[in-house]
Amino acid sequence: MYKTKLTLSVLMLGVLLTGCKEEPTHYKEAAQASITKQAEMKNYVFAGNADIDLGNIIPQTKDSNAITSNLLGILQNSRIEFKGVANTQPVQLEVDLKATPALLGTALDLPIILKDNKLYMNIPVLSQKDEYFAIDLTKLGTATDSKSALSPDSLKNVSQISSTISKLIMDDMQEDWFQKSADEITLPDGSKATSLTVTVNDKNKAAISTVFQSKLPKIISTLQTSGILSKDQADKLNQTNFQSVLIEMPSSIVLITDIEGFIREQQINLSFSIKDAAGATATHHLNLKQTYDQINKNPAFTKPIPSKIKPFEDILKLVAPKK
């Protein structure tokens, strides 16, 4: 009788211990899958905002593309709002961009249209409200003597660059850094979604900094391939002592994914410090929120091709870097 009770007790204890054991999570795998899924986005509506303070991290070089160089000059220390429509096959894009540079404190409206390999930009001060500069992207490198990779192909997935960089970083993150929302999220269109978050805290800050440092060369390469950075800019950034770049709090990445696996909202809140050659430390941040909607539902483009055009050579005279 005693042996029977002992056996039953051991069995019950085993059941209890088994029941209390935590099931392994697969949040990292889910995050990676959702980022990979973005490559299946052929057309979509997007919107978002950003608060950017990068100081003078991005260098100005002689081979910088005149367009991206001046846009970066405006955007790398500014508040930004944007919304638009994108198509990848064929490449077509329209964006309403509003930027408030820290130095100016005044909002600038920068509407952009890309169609048939031509980029149309309205630039405040340089052009009237309904007047656009027209740039043939197939001839851009020759016209500017630039080593920038800006081209129709590089612009194909320009709004997905944040996802590409997120994947680079997430590949080496640890499973226990990820958290899943307890409740389902309802998207503006009424559909359901789930949220995965990685938050930097005292316990993981050093490890996440190490991951980020190891990925910086690939991040720089991604920005160069996309045409945002020129070769010389990328080379100069690669001379940075990456181990001096530390992720600080508050920092986090949030991915909100729908039932089909597409990311519908992405938040990157990144605070970091960096030491210069003299040993001085500066703190910067990049806070980005971007949403996607009407994925692969052929959303309509509403902006007509501008009728008032200024030649590309005019903008080169005004913004091209001096040799």
Residue 270 confidence (pLDDT) above 90: yes
Region of poorest pLDDT, from 26-30, 117-121, 177-181, 280-284:
117-121
The predicted structure's pLDDT at residue 152: 62
Give the tokens for residue 282: 């500066």
Residue 186 confidence (pLDDT) above 80: yes
Q: Which domain holds residue 307?
A: 25-319
Is 257:34 a contact under the CB 8 Å cutoff? yes
In a domain, 315, yes or no: yes
Local confidence band at 303 (pLDDT 50, 70, 90 cut-offs): very high
Give the tokens for residue 19: 């029941």
In a domain, 105, yes or no: yes
In a domain, 109, yes or no: yes
Report the C-alpha gap between 125 and 248 in whole angstroms: 38
How high is the mean pLDDT of the chain? 85
pLDDT higher at 143 or 267 = 267
pLDDT digits (tens, 9 = 90+) for 59-94: 877 766 666 777 777 788 999 999 999 998 888 999
The rounded percent of the chain whose pLDDT value lies above 70 is: 81
In a domain, 7, yes or no: no
Residue 18 confidence (pLDDT) above 60: no
Burial of 301 (0-12, 13-18, 19+ CB in 10 A): middle
Is 49:289 a contact under the CB 8 Å cutoff? yes
> Can you give the CATH number for the domain in which 246 is found?
2.50.20.20
In a domain, 8, yes or no: no
Is 66:144 a contact under the CB 8 Å cutoff? yes
Report the C-alpha gap between 156 and 93 in whole angstroms: 9
The predicted structure's pLDDT at residue 81: 97
The predicted structure's pLDDT at residue 175: 97
Instruction: Pick the closest to residue 301 from 48, 84, 82, 89 (CA basis).
Output: 84
pLDDT higher at 44 or 20 = 44
Average pLDDT over residues 150-160: 61
Report the C-alpha gap between 215 and 54 in whole angstroms: 18
pLDDT higher at 315 or 25 = 25
For 14, which DSSP code?
H
The predicted structure's pLDDT at residue 150: 59
In a domain, 193, yes or no: yes
Report the C-alpha gap between 193 and 30 in whole angstroms: 13
pLDDT digits (tens, 9 = 90+) for 212-233: 999 999 999 988 888 788 889 9
Residue 282 confidence (pLDDT) above 60: yes
Residue 289 confidence (pLDDT) above 60: yes
The predicted structure's pLDDT at residue 261: 96
Is 233:194 a contact under the CB 8 Å cutoff? no
pLDDT digits (tens, 9 = 90+) for 91-135: 899 999 999 998 888 999 999 999 998 989 888 877 888 899 888
Residue 204 confidence (pLDDT) above 60: yes
The predicted structure's pLDDT at residue 126: 77
In a domain, 221, yes or no: yes
In a domain, 4, yes or no: no
Distances (CA, A) of 101 to 52, 257, 276, 315: 9, 32, 24, 20
* Number of domains observed in the structure of the chain: 1
Residue 13 confidence (pLDDT) above 60: no
Residue 290 confidence (pLDDT) above 90: yes
